[in-house]
Amino acid sequence: MYRKIEEIIKSLDVSTIKEGRKDIHNQLTNYIQDKVNNKKDVNLNFICTHNSRRSHLSQIWAQTLAAYFKIPHVNCYSGGTEATALFPMTAKTLMNQGFVFQTLVEGENPIYTIKYSPNRQPIIGFSKIYNDDFNPKSDFAAILTCSEADRGCPFIPDADIRIPLTFEDPKEYDNTPLQEEKYYERSLQIAVELYSIFSKVVVK
């Protein structure tokens, strides 16, 4: 794993997590644990309205933390109720935190490879709807990272479970002096909560 990312992970403080979040965390931890116990793939699809900010941050940190805790067969995806593009400040934030981006396809909806380790397969990042062919069609957890997607997706066919792990949108700080700071904070919040979730999974 790249040193800067590992240093950030080691600095994460789970005591900052609000008490009311723990029941939601336990749902996802239990889902992952059950798949691990039964030696099955752990497919996690993080869903937000535009698949541009929170869902990508969640997907990338989840895949990274699964590797950090050596949890096998974890495959993380993201999608939206509509497709837009991975927002540039989302990419910049992750690069500032140590992730390595390479552009595969340019255009209105660029496709990136995103690496958290020099020796691990990269994550493919681009905006897509949650049921895009790139994403799993069955045997997955649908994790709603924004309240709009939570309300807009009352039922997701073929998902094993639907978990509302929602976060505030850093978009409200776009084009303000606080934009970079608030995106960084939101990324760290997502990392902290996913750290708490994955750290409780026992691999035998």
pTM beyond 0.75: the answer is: yes
What are the residue ranges of helices labelled H in the chain? Answer: 3-11, 22-37, 54-68, 88-96, 147-152, 179-199
Q: What does the pLDDT read at residue 154?
A: 59
**Mean pLDDT, rounded, for 98-107:** 97
152 pLDDT band, cuts 50/70/90, is: low
Joined tokens for residue 40: 């099955």
Residues in a beta bridge with 102: 113
pLDDT at position 148 over 80: no
Integer Cα distance of 123 and 55 in angstroms: 13
Residues in a beta bridge with 44: 76, 141
Task: Assess contact for 145 and 58: CB atoms under 8 A.
Answer: yes
Q: What does the pLDDT read at residue 150?
A: 60
pLDDT at position 126 over 70: yes
Query: Which residues, 6 or more positions from 131, have their beta carbon under 8 angstroms from its beta carbon?
Result: 79, 137, 157
Q: What does the pLDDT read at residue 67?
A: 98
pLDDT at position 149 over 70: no
Phi, psi of 136, deg, nearest 5: -65, 150
**Mean pLDDT, rounded, for 15-26:** 92
Residue 120 has a CB neighbour count (10 Å cut-off) of 12
Mean pLDDT over all residues of the chain? 95
pLDDT at position 129 over 70: yes
The helix/strand/coil state of 44 is strand
